[in-house]
Structure 1
Amino acid sequence: MDTAGGDNWRRRTRSAQACPGARADESGVLRCLNVGNTEGDHDMEEDSGLFKQKPRAPRYNLLREVGRGTYGVVYEAVARRSGATVAVKKLRCDAPENVELALQEFWALTSLEKRHENVVQLEECVLQRNGMAQKMSHGNKRSKQYLRLVETSLKGERVLSPPEEPCYLWFVMEFCEGGDLNQFILSRRPDPQTNSSFMLQLTSAVAFLHENNIVHRDLKPDNILISEKSGSPVLKVADFGLSKVCAGLGNTSEGKEGEDKSKNVNLNKYWLSSACGSDFFMAPEVWEGHYTAKADIFALGIIIWAMLERITFIDAESKRELLGTYVRQGADIVPVGEALLENPKMVLNIPLKRRSCMSDKVRKLLQDMLAVNPQDRPDAFELQARMDHVMYAT
């Protein structure tokens, strides 16, 4: 079953207005992360629910906070042995919804047997209680702590520890020094070559995720990071807290969530029911709570359209200028998906701006990606092939 619960899981960005054109250090939080034996639990044992651990030097030193969201904090850190810079995301597992977000990200990233240049790489995940830590491994039935996390998520109630015993999951990932797609695009002059490269990278990443039976469900510029280690910008799709791993859950046109009929999944026939995501990037069918992986294609269309024409809005809560396409209704701006749900016959004005360099082939591709009927949208593999053809043919 897709257990995420409706509107409670939607990441709201609706309080916004059209755009006309790190927190302070926490000395009590920025500290060394002590990680135990990465090969197993040989140096750990449970005693009345508490961890014991042999003393050892911390493996990571947290340097500074680089991001903060509703469910966690992200730090820049250094691995003591190699000196490599990494990103460390700290998620407090003090409520079932937080646990579910953390586990969904963990399951998605650990289900990937191969790496992809445009998907953020998880180095390891660590479970911490009372200052001690234990490496997480997928499906580790010997770890009572891991099983309690799963039970917390499934039951929707706290079973891991009382409030006075905080539990955290730490995700150690590759560090992306270029910020997110919003920051990168809006801090630079328009560059058609970069735009073309980003479109190819994005479609490649989504095709890879769908090939591996992962529906992201929250694609947006905030969740697309930039690495510049190679000298040219490389996109990294990140933040899999709302993702759905669909492997082994059915492969028929009538397939419903929870059916265990086949290990091979046709994501475009696998129906999800939780209305989750961020308003400005949600497909019409997501608003109704009945959708497939084609919702990721719609979100990608919104991202690419906004990136090419630099369409932005101001988020009312963060006051940040964000990339995102919308429909004007009087003085209000309305997410494209919501507007199409209300008026399925509405024709999207692509390109939106009069002085646009958008080619006819890209315009047609965007129209198909943003089709109100998901059956009229290309799937991730068709999209990748068409994007390659469009980019390399021009």
Structure 2
Amino acid sequence: MELRKATQRRLTNLRRGCKRPEPPIERLRREVSKILRPLPLENNDDDEVDELMEEEDCFSMGFPKNANETSMLYSAPRYSLIREVGRGSYGVVYEAVRRSSGARVAVKKLRCDAPEKVELALAEFWALASLEKKHENVVQLEECVLQRKGMAQKMSHGNKRNKQYLRLVETSLKGERIMGYPEEPCYLWFVMEFCDGGDLNQYILSRRPDPRTNRSFMKQLTSAVAFLHKNNIVHRDLKPDNILISHQSGNPVIKVADFGLSKVCAGLNKFEHSGDDHVNKNIVNVNKFWLSSACGSDFYMAPEVWEGHYTAKADIFALGIIIWAMIERITFIDAESKRELLGTYIRQGTEIVPVGEALLENPKMVLHIPQKTRSIMSEGVKRLLKDMLAVNPEDRPDALQLEQRMDQVTCAA
């Protein structure tokens, strides 16, 4: 376990090894035209004013912290904010209670005061709102609310009559602030299911190794990624920080979260006959849908992501790194947060290097799986991990193949 100077090295290698990403304006313009257009419109009242809700209809602070920031919020709410549970450079996450039922929810508040923040917020909204079905291992979005100028407005995916929503999209497209003056901040509030077990780092590292938990988590993670890929979503930032744990059903349940870097891959609409009905199918193979924005967290990035030319198979690589680290309890110290995190790496002298970066520099490098000499990892898991971490994406299983193979893997320690 070592301290890695992650930030500078990552930026250096991105400049050296990656193709220049396509301009955000062009990329988001395609997202708007290809993603939003085919989706059904919801809550599209002709009069935009009818969609607006007074502030007291939504949220309320349950504690006085950061009173200046939240003093404008809702005094007779549907939700009561209880406490802050997380904070990052782009937003704050609260534990909250739905007043009508007393159920706990998570509320993520994202300030949309810059184009890059708007882009992250819209990416998460587009991904979660595009899911027509629920999955036990993907965090569920209950609603999204846009707050601006003392008013709150429920967001609906693809609503081209919602002027505030279109202004957010335009902010991303033009790469400049158009939402108003700084003294009139705009926020997106995401109401999601609450996960009470922390993230995968916290859960795994606070407990003794358990082969049954490892196997359960491997199957749940694989099922979640297969579901996302089947629904044309590439996560692009799979890592233990973005994998939450819920205990609400008794046994620990994995929840893949944080879709700020995700990509909804839009394909051609095709109508298929099913009996007397016409079924609209969005035909796209995410394993052939090429992406160019080099994004993610360096310890989990596939070699081709560093180059800026990759597909959904990059998620399979990231999943392989996570599973390998989880089984063997391989950790490193993050240079910025100083936290101990699950993640596999290659040692080069006194430095530790992300596996994907090392494979990019030396594609013939042989990965030593397992890494620890006393590991009792099963042969089936060894073979599976080597396939998931193949240098060539074509040699990796896709998410559906991985889900089928995971059912045949014996217990891993």
Partner of 1:6: none
Q: 1:52–1:228: structure 2 CA closer, same or farther, 3 Å change rule?
A: closer
1:246 aligned to 2:265?
yes
Give the Cα–Cα distance (whole angstroms) in 2 for the partners of residues 101 and 219 of structure 1: 15
**Cα offset for 1:131?**
3.1
Please give the root-mean-square deviation of Cα atoms over the aligned residues, in Å: 2.4
> Residue 145 of structure 2 aligns to a residue in which SS?
strand
Q: Equivalent of 1:326, from 338, 345, 350? A: 345
> Residue 119 of structure 1 aligns to a residue in which SS?
coil
Partner of 2:6: 14
**Cα offset for 1:45?**
2.5
Q: 1:347–1:143: structure 2 CA closer, same or farther, 3 Å change rule?
A: same
**Cα offset for 1:222?**
0.2
1:370 aligned to 2:374?
no
Partner of 1:32: none
Q: Letter of the aligned partner of 1:270 in structure 2? A: F
Q: Equivalent of 2:207, from 162, 175, 188? A: 188
Q: Equivalent of 2:252, from 210, 221, 233? A: 233
Partner of 1:381: 400
Q: 1:291–1:319: structure 2 CA closer, same or farther, 3 Å change rule?
A: same
- Unpaired segments of 5 or more residues in structure 2? 9-41, 58-75, 271-280
- Unpaired segments of 5 or more residues in structure 1? 1-11, 17-37, 252-261
Give the Cα–Cα distance (whole angstroms) in 1 for the partners of residues 181 and 83 of structure 2: 29
1:45 aligned to 2:49?
yes
Q: 1:312–1:144: structure 2 CA closer, same or farther, 3 Å change rule?
A: same
Give the Cα–Cα distance (whole angstroms) in 2 for the partners of residues 141 and 201 of structure 1: 36
**Cα offset for 1:247?**
2.4
Q: After superposition, what is the alpha-carbon deviation per residue over 1:213-268, rounded to whole angstroms, capped at 9, x for unaligned?
A: 000000000000000011100000000000000022699xxxxxxxxxx9310111
Partner of 1:5: none
| Identity fraction in percent | 79
Partner of 2:371: 352
1:306 aligned to 2:325?
yes
1:110 aligned to 2:111?
no
Q: Letter of the aligned partner of 1:53 in structure 2? A: E
**Cα offset for 1:140?**
1.2
Q: After superposition, what is the alpha-carbon deviation per residue over 1:163-221, rounded to whole angstroms, capped at 9, x for unaligned?
A: 11100000000000000000000000101000000000000000000000000000000
Would you say the 8 A contact 1:63–1:77 is kept in 2? yes
Task: Give matches, 1:170-209, under 5 Å.
Answer: 170-209=189-228
Partner of 1:267: 286
Give the Cα–Cα distance (whole angstroms) in 2 for the partners of residues 336 and 250 of structure 1: 38
Q: Letter of the aligned partner of 1:304 in structure 2? A: I
Q: 1:322–1:54: structure 2 CA closer, same or farther, 3 Å change rule?
A: closer
Task: Give matches, 1:35-184, under 5 Å.
Answer: 45=49, 53=54, 56=57, 57-184=76-203
> Residue 95 of structure 2 aligns to a residue in which SS?
strand
Q: After superposition, what is the alpha-carbon deviation per residue over 1:353-390, rounded to whole angstroms, capped at 9, x for unaligned?
A: 01112101100000000000000000000000001111
**Cα offset for 1:132?**
2.0
Would you say the 8 A contact 1:250–1:265 is kept in 2? no
Q: 1:205–1:179: structure 2 CA closer, same or farther, 3 Å change rule?
A: same
Q: After superposition, what is the alpha-carbon deviation per residue over 1:304-353, rounded to whole angstroms, capped at 9, x for unaligned?
A: 00000000001111111000000000000000000000000000010000
Give the Cα–Cα distance (whole angstroms) in 2 for the partners of residues 145 and 44 of structure 1: 9
Would you say the 8 A contact 1:63–1:75 is kept in 2? yes
Would you say the 8 A contact 1:216–1:240 is kept in 2? yes
Would you say the 8 A contact 1:40–1:135 is kept in 2? no
Q: 1:393–1:280: structure 2 CA closer, same or farther, 3 Å change rule?
A: closer
Q: Letter of the aligned partner of 2:96 in structure 1? A: A
> Residue 232 of structure 1 aligns to a residue in which SS?
coil
Would you say the 8 A contact 2:43–2:156 is kept in 1? no
Give the Cα–Cα distance (whole angstroms) in 2 for the partners of residues 389 and 90 of structure 1: 41
1:282 aligned to 2:301?
yes
Give the Cα–Cα distance (whole angstroms) in 1 for the partners of residues 377 and 47 of structure 2: 59
Q: Letter of the aligned partner of 2:6 in structure 1? A: R
Partner of 1:212: 231
Greater fraction of residues in helix: 2
Q: Equivalent of 1:224, from 229, 243, 267? A: 243
